[in-house]
Amino acid sequence: MSENKTHKKRDIFVEGAIAPAFVAESITKHATQTSIGGHEIFLGQVRADAIGATNAIVRAIEYTAYRDMANEQMIAIREEAFARWPITCLHVHHSLGTIAVGELCFFVFASAAHRQPAREAVAFVTDEVKKRLPIFGKEILLDNTHVWKENR
């Protein structure tokens, strides 16, 4: 759908939480692109889930990844998204390190001339990142024990 070009390889990982100001700045940078009519955003935030039989509460998630492998797989996901939808841009950022409850850990942002392609591309990319990228979350509980997060 989008013009046939290879998009830049990007490192999607950021150390620490994704700042809300970074999200706002990303949106602001697109204001000069007057062919864009729709933006779609997904923001992942760490939840204070109750885990297991004891209902232990999550206080943070420590994210690790096979960084090179994940970035290579992200190239394929990006190319699939650009091939399927007429989007003008696609940005993906995922946290590494310890992210506290309430902080942002995942940011997917797509723009297009119209809202529907941007919406569908963001849903696709969000799901594919969860399925295909070797990113691991260790849920740190209030008592400082941990369990490994499983994507549902």
Of 135 and 1, more confident = 135
Q: CA-CA distance, 150 to 81, in Å (whole number)?
A: 25
**All domains in the chain, ordered by first residue:** 13-148 (3.90.1170.40)
pLDDT in the model for residue 10: 86
pLDDT tens profile 74-126: 999 999 999 999 999 999 999 999 999 999 999 999 999 999 999 999 999 99
Q: What is the mean pLDDT of residues 42-69?
A: 94
What tokens appear for 152 in the block? 């549902």
pLDDT in the model for residue 70: 97
Phi, psi of 125 (to 5 degrees): -65, -45
What average pLDDT does the chain have?
A: 93
- pTM of the predicted model, to two decimals? 0.91
Residue with tokens 């297009």: 112
Q: What is the mean pLDDT of residues 60-78?
A: 97
pLDDT band of residue 44 (cuts 50, 70, 90) is: very high
3-state helix, strand, coil in the chain (%, to 5): 30, 40, 30
pLDDT in the model for residue 46: 98
Q: Say whether pLDDT at 3 is over 60.
A: no
Q: Say whether pLDDT at 132 is over 60.
A: yes
pLDDT band of residue 152 (cuts 50, 70, 90) is: low
